[in-house]
Amino acid sequence: MTLKQQLSSLTKPLLLACVLSGSATALFAADAVSEAEQVKSIPLEEIRLFTEVFERIKNSYVEPVDDAELLESAVRGMLAGLDPHSAYLEADAFSDLQSHTSGEFGGLGIEVGMENGFIRVIAPIDDTPAYRAGVKAGDLIIKLGDQSVQGMELGDAVKLMRGKPGSELLLTVVREGQDKPLEIMVVRDVIRVASVKQRMLDDGIGYLRITQFQVNTGKDLLKAIERLQDESDLRGLVLDLRNNPGGVLRAAVEVSDSFIDQGLIVYTQGRVENSELRYNATTKTLVDSSLPLVVLINQGSASASEIVAGALQDHARAIVMGVDSFGKGSVQTILPLTKKRALKLTTARYYTPNGRSIQAQGIVPDIYVADANISLKESGNYLKERDLSGHLENGPEDVDTDAQLRTSLAEKDFQLYEAFNLLKALSIIKPFAAVEQPEMESAVQ
Query: Which position among 86, 195, 328, 344 bears the catalytic label?
Result: 328
pLDDT band with cut points at 50, 70 and 90 for residue 24 = very low
Q: Is the pLDDT of residue 398 over 70?
A: no
Task: Kindly report the number of other CB atoms within 10 A of residue 186's CB atom.
Answer: 24
* Rounded CA separation 295/278 (Å): 23
In this structure, are strands 236-240 and 293-297 parallel, antiparallel, or unpaired?
Answer: parallel
- Return the minimum-mean-pLDDT range out of 6-15, 78-87, 262-271: 6-15
Active site residue 303: yes
| 49 phi/psi in degrees, rounded to 5 | -60, -40
Query: Which position among 86, 195, 256, 303 bears the catalytic label?
Result: 303
Residues in the chain: 445
Q: Does residue 251 contact residue 214 with C-beta atoms inside 8 Å?
A: yes
Q: How far is CA 379 from the centre of its chain?
A: 41
Return the closest-CA partner of residue 360 out of 350, 368, 373.
350
Q: Is the pLDDT of residue 9 over 70?
A: no
pLDDT of residue 397: 57
* Rounded CA separation 125/133 (Å): 12
For 361-388, the pLDDT digits (tens) are: 999 999 999 998 887 777 667 777 877 8
- Which of the 8 DSSP states describes residue 318? S
Task: Kindly report the number of other CB atoms within 10 A of residue 346's CB atom.
Answer: 19
For 286-330, the pLDDT digits (tens) are: 898 899 999 999 999 999 999 999 999 999 999 999 999 999 999
Query: Which position among 189, 314, 344, 424 bears the catalytic label?
Result: 314
Q: Is the pLDDT of residue 100 over 60?
A: no
DSSP string for residues in 363-389: PPPSEE-------PPP------GGGST
Q: Is the pLDDT of residue 11 over 50?
A: no
In this structure, are strands 236-240 and 264-270 parallel, antiparallel, or unpaired?
Answer: unpaired
Question: What spatial distance separates the first Cα and last Cα of the chain, rounded to whole Å?
Answer: 104
Task: Kindly report the number of other CB atoms within 10 A of residue 220's CB atom.
Answer: 20
**Which runs of consecutive H residues, i.e. helices, occur in 44-137?**
44-60, 67-80, 91-102, 129-133
